[in-house]
Structure 1
């Protein structure tokens, strides 16, 4: 009995030491708990973290350069309230075949944000072109630029305005056109942020909006959920300023307008149950991009790249291997 009690005391002491160490580690920045899980996801996807100073912003990005000589370079741009981690399921299925670069856009994730900075479609598209030029491009390697949601609008403008930097383009549930009215779009027009998170209930609502497939919905355990909620609460003003820029300003439909000038091979991929960017947007973009391959997936919502990563990867492979170069 005394031996069992001694083992219990040892285990309790070990747990107490571990808890103290965890508290000390998290104290300067509680969000480290979330970043630690992101690091785990990055490792599973076979990616490496790096950073680069490009003009006036420090970018953080993940990459994998283990591809055959001359393999295409795939650059993936995340959406509103998103981060590079959104692309990891797709990147995991593309690695080894292509060079991969997955950045956090300036203002988001781990990349630098400047007070009062412009993080709308136009400003970010110019930054993405510079990221390709300074970090991702390799002589003899085609650049395939993919964008999800807000990132899709940025990618469309980057491709239209910087055609020498982009050889092929993919838009996934992309913003930038006047799609059929839905609750999300009408809320944005009223000046609201339907993605706002300030407590556990609004976090769950956010997840339910962007995901349709229950099996794909992320589970964020405590205390990571609390740290994530705290960060989103602090970011509320920034989120609203960006949403006003991409959803209510004279930039909001610019990606769709300028897409008409894109000649590169393109991919348009949507989920039929997307309640953020209504699937009618696919047809609107297709009318401007007659050369585009079109994919409409069933049983998934706004997060096609997370809910259906294998089908998304198959579509990217077809874009690269089947679409004739410009």
Structure 2
């Protein structure tokens, strides 16, 4: 009997190795699907801005409820928003896409995926899935810069805008920012050590840092290594290119109700960025979470949800 169990264990291990060899990210996708189902979200696809998008969505209890669109950041994906989606409950209709080029959405060879292009992509996504109803647009990190541009340029599509740990302004120098300006990708992942550095950079609270055991870690590392050139090309545009500060400049044209939310210990987009955005969007509500790093939407989803609920429901 023990021999049979041992042989079954070896067979299972060999099956896992075979799956990883053929498709290293398959296990990660399965885990993401489990997380999506746990959050009560469904998977959808749509054609917009010449791309095939994959997105998560959930209807609200009230069919007339506001529509909330959530835009992820650099090296991120729709899954980053799942903890907040769970915390928000069914108060709102949720649309959570993978941006073109990222996650499961289409990436076109030679296409540009900077702030400007993605603002155009996101407004097309909104037009496709909420053609009659302006949305509440939430953006995290790079997604915050994108959201700022969309709200400023297409105000008829955005009823309210939330910028969380948002890129797009010249914040106080930190190690991450200096490395970006020097031409590096501080988020690059090529082995277990750099994966650990990545997690330690974007999270502050040790208790909130995700545990990524093998073989999931091996799959994530393989995926990030394959994306290294793409990540560098995007960072060249949004981190140190001519458009890197465009979101902050155009934020002065945002007239909608706004929410600015940061982690006080953000080691990526220094919290000095909050004041810079607030100076351009004086009507914005400001929230600074103590004991929280860059990934506020994953690190403190209940606190973020409380801030979002209070802000959306405010008269």
Task: Give yes or no for TM over 0.5.
Answer: yes
Q: CA deviation at 1:51?
A: 1.2
Q: Structure 1 CA distance, aligned partners of 2:72 and 2:13?
A: 35
Q: CA deviation at 1:16?
A: 4.0
Residue number in structure 2 paired with 1:182 = 174
Q: Structure 1 CA distance, aligned partners of 2:223 and 2:150?
A: 29
Q: Structure 2 CA distance, aligned partners of 1:31 and 1:188?
A: 27
Q: How does 1:55-204 map to 2 (within 5 A)?
A: 55-135=49-129, 137=130, 139=132, 141-204=133-196
Does residue 1:294 correspond to 2:286, yes or no? yes
Q: Structure 2 CA distance, aligned partners of 1:95 and 1:127?
A: 27
Secondary structure of the 2:190 match is coil
Q: Say whether the 8 Å CA contact 1:129–1:162 is kept in structure 2.
A: yes
Q: Tell which structure's C-alpha radius of gyration is larger.
A: 1
Q: Structure 1 CA distance, aligned partners of 2:134 and 2:195?
A: 39
Candidates 226, 251, 254, aligned match of 1:234: 226
TM-score (norm 2): 0.97
Q: Structure 2 CA distance, aligned partners of 1:117 and 1:196?
A: 21
Aligned residues: 315
Secondary structure of the 1:191 match is coil
Deviation track 1:56-75 (CA, whole Å, cap 9, x = no partner) reads 21111101014302100110
Structure 2 residue runs of 5 or longer lacking an equivalent are none
Residue number in structure 1 paired with 2:5 = 11
Secondary structure of the 2:96 match is strand
Structure 1 residue runs of 5 or longer lacking an equivalent are 1-6
Q: CA deviation at 1:17?
A: 4.1
Deviation track 1:226-259 (CA, whole Å, cap 9, x = no partner) reads 1111111111111011001001111011101111
Q: Say whether the 8 Å CA contact 2:27–2:216 is kept in structure 1.
A: yes
Candidates 243, 246, 254, aligned match of 1:251: 243
TM-score (norm 1): 0.93
Does residue 1:221 correspond to 2:205, yes or no? no
Moved over 6 A (4+): none
Q: CA deviation at 1:30?
A: 1.7
Q: Structure 1 CA distance, aligned partners of 2:75 and 2:256?
A: 28
Q: Say whether the 8 Å CA contact 1:266–1:289 is kept in structure 2.
A: yes
Secondary structure of the 1:97 match is coil
Does residue 1:317 correspond to 2:309, yes or no? yes
Residue number in structure 2 paired with 1:4 = none
Q: Structure 1 CA distance, aligned partners of 2:169 and 2:176?
A: 14
Residue number in structure 1 paired with 2:202 = 210
Secondary structure of the 1:146 match is strand
Q: Say whether the 8 Å CA contact 1:46–1:95 is kept in structure 2.
A: no
Does residue 1:38 correspond to 2:32, yes or no? yes
